[in-house]
Amino acid sequence: MNQRNQHNQSAMRLDKWLWAARFFKTRALAQRHIELGRVHVNGAKVKNSKNIQEGDIIDLTLNALPYKITVLQLNHMRRPATEARLLYEEDAAVAKQREQQKALDKASRITAAYPDGRPTKRDRRQLEKVKHGWEE
């Protein structure tokens, strides 16, 4: 069998695994995050072509939220989300921290600009008059 076509089941490219585990929609997005230094394997900054194995620990920052996952299985194909969750185990402390950060972000969103929703057309006209000093 051709060496290129034969999949090594004990190791896999990091970008491909992140795509197969459904952390990213495309491999290109996974590659971009790795290049930006948002992905670390076993505490070290890595390249896209880094081969990972079962047992490796991946630290990932996605949408400014931390993830710490342990690779349990390798899969070269993208499968449904329920199956993808079986490929890794997440650190409970980091997951709890991420949920707290999400709750804090949600609570701190400023919605005071329009407390009653978007301004109506009449409200916008009045705002324009005040902003520009127009007379009626």
Averages of pLDDT over runs of 10 residues in the chain (136 residues) are 51 93 94 94 92 94 92 92 93 92 75 67 83 70
In a domain, 115, yes or no: no
In a domain, 33, yes or no: yes
In a domain, 40, yes or no: yes
In a domain, 117, yes or no: no
Please give the tally of structural domains in the chain.
1
Reported in sequence order, the residue ranges of the chain that DSSP labels E, i.e. its strands, are: 12-13, 39-41, 44-45, 51-52, 57-62, 65-71, 88-90
CA distances from 28 to 48, 71, 74 (A): 10, 21, 19
Q: Which residues contact 31 (CB under 8 A, 6 or more apart)?
A: 15, 48
Which structural domain, as residue segments, surrounds residue 38?
A: 1-94
CATH number at residue 17: 3.10.290.10
pLDDT score, position 135: 63
pLDDT score, position 3: 44
Tokens 């949600």, residue? 106
In a domain, 113, yes or no: no
